[in-house]
Amino acid sequence: MHASFEGSVFIAASLDGFIARRDGSLDWLPGANGQPADPAAPSDGDYGYASFLASVDSLLMGRATYDTVLGFAEWPYGTKPVAVLTTRDLVLPADPSAVVSAVSGDPAAVAARLVDQGRPRVYLDGGRTIQQFLAAGLVGRLVITRVPVLLGDGIPLFGPLPADVVLRHETTESFASGLVQSTYRID
């Protein structure tokens, strides 16, 4: 891993390993579009998301993920800096407190830039971004929440890797809603 860069992933995936539909839609997630998937289902809070977000200095996401987030009713990251991997101009969020910038380059160069900016603890989001940083050895922590739904097709969480990545299991928690969350470290 790049000196002092700490890439972390916090993501939900279907039981068959997809993080979104092919078109990027997240309508299958509990609470998508601000509505519970099943109004009668128990609420488990935020599944540790607020605590996770507080543990990072910034976010790094791919352009497709950013475009999806722009469609949310509210900007979900407050004033936490968000870097978007893109070479195209960005449409900025309507929320004036949002801190968004564009970055480009290979994972090692982007990681070095974030460290140089004083943002070494980074939340990585988006399928391709996670896959690229995992392949580059720049992911140290994975928090994966399995949603009890089979999509059959979509954007996969994982892709080809240059070598095996050995994960060290830290915790697994099951929730009344049926979601199961596991945390892993990569040494």
Spans of all domains in the chain: 6-21+44-185
Query: What pLDDT was estimated at residue 39?
Result: 52
Taking only the tens place, the pLDDT of each residue in 57-84 is 999 999 999 999 998 889 999 999 999 9
Query: What pLDDT was estimated at residue 34?
Result: 45
Query: What pLDDT was estimated at residue 35?
Result: 42
Q: Does domain 6-21+44-185 match CATH 3.40.430.10?
A: yes
How far, in Å, CA of 87 to CA of 112, rounded?
18
Query: What pLDDT was estimated at residue 41?
Result: 56
DSSP 33: G
Which residues have CB under 8 Å from 133's CB, separation 6+? 7, 60, 107, 111, 124, 139
**Whole-prediction pTM value?**
0.90
Query: What pLDDT was estimated at residue 100?
Result: 97
Query: What pLDDT was estimated at residue 125?
Result: 97
Low-confidence residues in the chain, pLDDT < 50: 1, 33-37
How far, in Å, CA of 130 to CA of 113, rounded?
17
Query: What pLDDT was estimated at residue 32?
Result: 62
